[in-house]
Amino acid sequence: MNTKIEKVLDIWHDHFSDPDNQYSEFEPSDIEYFVGCMLYNRFAFSKALQNLKTMDLSYDFLSSCGDRYEEIEEIIKSIEFESEEESLEFLLEFVETSRKKYSESELYLLNRLYKHLTTLQDIYKGAVDISPVDFQNPLLR
């Protein structure tokens, strides 16, 4: 795994090992999920579906992650690749490695991210035709 990502994980796993820093329904796998979201937002994949151009970072996580968020954000910003495909490969490898650390009951968020990333990978390979998603309320039409 990338040493910068290992540093980020070490910081937050240490921070969240203190129960006083945890929020309700906290799972250790949340850390990897939110790091994955930060990476996803950092790479800003151009072929992502419009409704998934960014991954939302949970308020619970952000409000509990401590005073080192800025440091972690800078580390994430320093991770660069030549192409979006390389970025996606890196992010997929990170999520796949993270998924191996946890039991099935702890993988809900990581599995959601993984499914999204594998679909994005299919889009880059040309294996999936994309069309915009319309999230308008039908009652307002």
What is the distance between the alpha carbons of residues 19 and 40, in angstroms, rounded to a whole number?
28
Q: How many residues does the chain have?
A: 141
* Residue 58 lies in domain: 3-140
What is the distance between the alpha carbons of residues 114 and 103, in angstroms, rounded to a whole number?
15
Q: Name the percent of the chain lying above pLDDT 90.
A: 38
Output the CA–CA distances (angstroms, integers) from residue 20 to 8, 23, 89, in the order listed: 20, 8, 35
Counting the structural domains of the chain, the total is: 1
Give the chain's mean pLDDT: 84
What pLDDT is attached to residue 99? 96
Q: Determine the average pLDDT of the residues in 31-54.
A: 78
Residue 84 corresponds to which tokens in the numbers above? 């979006």
Output the CA–CA distances (angstroms, integers) from residue 29 to 32, 33, 108, 136, in the order listed: 5, 6, 9, 33
Which amino acid is it at 24? S
Which comes out higher in pLDDT, residue 114 or 46? 114
For 79-110, write each residue's pLDDT tens digit: 999 998 999 999 999 999 999 999 999 999 89
What is the distance between the alpha carbons of residues 87 and 39, in angstroms, rounded to a whole number?
9
Residue in this structure with the two tokens 């440091």, named with its chain if needed: 71
Name the pTM for this structure: 0.75
